[in-house]
Amino acid sequence: MPNDLAASGSERKPVSDETLAARFSDLWRRCSSLGSDGNPVTAWAIIDRSYAEPHRHYHDKQHLSHCLDELDRAHGAIPHPDRVEMALWFHDVVNEPGKPDNEARSADLFLDLASGVMPDDFVTAVAELIRVTTHRHPPEDLDQRFICDIDLASFGCPWECYLDDTNKVKAEFPGSAEEYYGKKRAFLEAMLRRPRIFLTDLFNARYEHQARENIGRLLGLIDQRAC
């Protein structure tokens, strides 16, 4: 489901719930073991409800569809694209602002839904892919590097888009403005200290320069309390 942002870096276009439901259902059935109950209805209902929660401003279906666009563009370079795609559907399914264990709980939810339905090695790998989107630990393989890059791809979008995303993330923050600025600055500075923000050559070539430019510009606004 490519959109114009993926192609040109411009404004994102919404994707219908029907399109998302059809894509998820195809993936769920494709990844289910032969002879298992591969019915995606329960899993889709959870995803549909979760990503539509009213407190979500950034971690919503638009972010999800953007991640899927980035996956589609990189599909041929990803060793196990179905694993990465399944993890993307679930990586923000649990989203309680301010909680440090959202990714772990998202992985546990996937384990509950997929265990016995999909092959054990697939389920284990997807759960690890979900957990690595905390961005707290170095990814262990190329699939994990790709999901991290996909999750951070919005850092490399044009400035107006990046600033809009930043405002949406801020709207989800449960603490004070000063707490937000402090944590945001620490995170952004940690990103800039990395030798590479994007860990795969594909995403590094595509987004690294713009991402560093965006982060530097945002840090200036944070200093002025202007964002």
pLDDT confidence band for 5 (50 / 70 / 90)? very low
Residue 225 has pLDDT above 90, yes or no: no
The pLDDT value given to residue 3: 34
Residue 2 has pLDDT above 60, yes or no: no
- 224: DSSP letter: T
Alpha-carbon span 41 to 61, nearest angstrom = 18
Query: pLDDT by residue (tens digit) across 130-159?
Result: 999 999 989 999 999 999 999 999 999 999
Q: Cα 130 from chain centroid? A: 9
All domains of the chain, ordered by start, with CATH? 12-151 (1.10.3210), 155-223 (no CATH)
Mean pLDDT value across residues 12-29: 91
Cβ-contact 15, 65 below 8 angstroms = yes
Place of tokens 């697939």: 122
pLDDT confidence band for 201 (50 / 70 / 90)? very high
Alpha-carbon span 100 to 94, nearest angstrom = 11
Query: pLDDT by residue (tens digit) across 48-85?
Result: 999 999 999 999 999 999 999 999 999 999 999 999 99
Q: Identify which has the larger pLDDT, 8 or 146.
A: 146
Place of tokens 């032969």: 34
Indicate the length of the chain as a whole number.
227
Mean pLDDT value across residues 200-225: 97
Mean pLDDT value across residues 154-180: 96
The pLDDT value given to residue 176: 95
**Residue 192 is encoded by which pair of tokens?**
């800039």
Share of the chain above pLDDT 70, in %: 94
The pLDDT value given to residue 12: 61
